Structure 1
Amino acid sequence: MSSFRRCVARVVVGAAVATTASISTATVAGAEPVAGCAQARQEIAIRSSVPLLDWSENFGIDAQGDLWVSRVLRGEVQRYDREGRLTATVDVAAPGAVRLGPDGLLYVVTGNSPLSGSGGIVRFDPTAPNPVPAPFATGFPQPNGAAFDAEGNLYVTTGNGVHRLFPDGTEDMDWWAAVRVDGPNGVVVAGDSVYVTANFADADGTPVARVLRLSRTDPADATTIADITSFGALPDFVDDLVVRDGALYVTTLAGRLVRVDPVSGAACAVLATQPLTAVVADPADPAALLAGSEEGTVLRIHPAD
């Protein structure tokens, strides 16, 4: 979700973050909340220096295990080592998702703002003394999330759908034309499944926060995994997601980290904290996750076994 759009929405739900969330899983017949969904532990991995200005929109991990954080309001991507020390900064306009490509380069979404006009994807060598971003693909309205599949194709969520780019930067137009997803946000690929978070209004104007599955081989086959709402009549908004131990972990505007069973659609909130943005596996701890926040702090989260 766009940083600026989410910033407006947080005024509505921000005061309710401390309340108990209700996660709806009615989209899958027979689905029940995950039994015994124990609460996760959290700690600060990287502290923000200037709250909100340090908004950590998204991040990725390079081959050395360093973390690259998109500071969307600063217009830069910052590199941190495993001790949480800032070691490099690369200028990227309104950066979004950061993903390590099969070629060892980092691919960064740029133009993740309604004020940026047309956006795209840039890439650079994270091992270079002074990395210089080079264009990889352009012409996307407000791109946000990104994920590679096993064949090196790059999936990008934008203001007009989910796009698939070949390793040479050209687009699979047939794949894009077959996809029907309103308000796509985060994306992650596991096998043939392309999991996407989406925020939109249904036919009655009711806000919907949804987790869907697309097929890499049949993109017209879209399946709803779960609808996620909170605070009774007030909606939550889903942002990023990651696959860990066969489950999906989804971040929300209301500060929930929600675990979703991709088979049954059962879901529960394992953490209630500040508004969350992105989530990735922690390279320093295979049992932990790293989650970004609007305030700018990066949290290390330990889901219960």
Structure 2
Amino acid sequence: MKFRTAVRLPLFAAVLVAAAPAVPAAQAAPGCPQARVEVAVPAGVPVLDWSENLTVDAAGNLWVARLWRQQLQRYDATGALTATISVEYPGAPRLGPDGLLYVVFGDAPTAGDRGGVLRLDPAAADPVPEVVVAGLTMPNGADFGPDGRLYLATANGVVRLRADGTLDPEWAIDAPAANGIAVDGDTAYLTSNGDALGRVSRAPLADPAAHTVVAELTNGGLPDFVDDLVWHGGALYAATLTGRLVRIDPASGAACAVLGTQPLTALAADPARPGTLLASTEGGSILRITPGE
């Protein structure tokens, strides 16, 4: 969950949410396949260790963005912490086609337009980041497309970087308070909470102006703040503020909560375990989730 320019929650409210007890996993909606969940990395200090986003690199290391610590952390396959890198309000880390790790920074209102993207060598013992682009307002989610370009969800909508690392001024998706983004083939799927809370939409990479709504997520009849999303097993999975993991059929827009747990912030596939997802949380723990069949 983020504090967006268009939809901003007070810090004390986020603290209360992050410190709240986990909701039992049995709260998946009736008729939905029940997901299984286990803790992959235990929580540390409540709120301070908020895990904002995550990814797994080619060597199987887990990278976690600790938003309020302003750190990017690397864990090996045993769960041991092997590197800590200072990053101003880190958002999504994503492995690039060049083998380098690209990391969003400036994902907080106090960062203003000082956000951007840095990159580093994930295999280095002590990775040294370098800035690729700056001047973005609260960049958050990120994903690489099949064209090798990096697509970024920011407070002002979705933008993309060209191969040389510069912004493409001819390409953008108008989606206020864009949050997460997942590219599948020639289509970008994204979440946003500006025009409407809980909105999941899509746009063709070749025609970003053809931006259409896929689903509006609700919980108990009320809009649900939606965070990041991932493409997995032929469906979209979205993480929400209320702790729900929601499976979305991109063709019909049908949505079903397969898990209810603590507030979720982002999702990532684990190449070592193809049937599972890793989830970051406001409480700081990293969860391993196996969606039901």
Please identify runs of 4+ aligned residues in structure 1 that moved more than 3 A.
3-23
In structure 2, how many angstroms separate the alpha carbons of the residues matched to 1:84 and 1:11?
26
What is the match of residue 105 of structure 2?
A: 110
In structure 1, how many angstroms separate the alpha carbons of the residues matched to 2:79 and 2:281?
16
1:155 aligns with 2:165: no
In structure 1, how many angstroms separate the alpha carbons of the residues matched to 2:123 and 2:22?
39
Aligned residues: 286
1:143 to 132, 139, 142: 139
On the 8 A contact 1:17/1:254 being kept in 2, the answer is no
The structure-2 alpha-carbon separation of the partners of 1:10 and 1:53, relative to structure 1 and needing over 3 Å to count, comes to closer
SS in 1 for 2:194: strand
5 Å matches for 1:182-201? 182-201=176-195
SS in 1 for 2:198: strand
1:296 to 279, 284, 289: 284
What is the match of residue 49 of structure 2?
A: 54
Deviation at 1:188, TM superposition (A): 0.6
Q: Which runs of 5+ in 2 are unaligned?
A: none
On the 8 A contact 2:51/2:64 being kept in 1, the answer is yes
What is the match of residue 235 of structure 2?
A: 247
Please tell me the root mean square deviation across aligned C-alpha atoms, in Å. 2.3
In structure 1, how many angstroms separate the alpha carbons of the residues matched to 2:3 and 2:213?
25
SS in 1 for 2:236: strand
What is the match of residue 32 of structure 1?
A: none
Query: Counterpart of 1:196 in structure 2: which amino acid?
Result: L
In structure 1, how many angstroms separate the alpha carbons of the residues matched to 2:2 and 2:152?
14
Q: Percent identity?
A: 53
In structure 2, how many angstroms separate the alpha carbons of the residues matched to 1:56 and 1:18?
18
Deviation at 1:38, TM superposition (A): 1.1
On the 8 A contact 2:21/2:262 being kept in 1, the answer is no
Q: Can you list the C-alpha shifts for 1:123-156, whole angstroms capped at 9, x where unaligned?
A: 0001112111100011101110100001110001
Q: Can you list the C-alpha shifts for 1:45-102, whole angstroms capped at 9, x where unaligned?
A: 0002212111000011211111100001111111111221111111111000000001
Q: Which moved more, 1:121-130 or 1:254-263?
A: 121-130
Q: Which moved more, 1:164-173 or 1:3-12?
A: 3-12
In structure 2, how many angstroms separate the alpha carbons of the residues matched to 1:252 and 1:129?
34
The structure-2 alpha-carbon separation of the partners of 1:64 and 1:17, relative to structure 1 and needing over 3 Å to count, comes to closer
In structure 2, how many angstroms separate the alpha carbons of the residues matched to 1:11 and 1:229?
22
Q: Which runs of 5+ in 1 are unaligned?
A: 24-34, 202-206
5 Å matches for 1:8-157? 10=14, 18=23, 36-117=31-112, 118-157=114-153
In structure 2, how many angstroms separate the alpha carbons of the residues matched to 1:200 and 1:299?
28
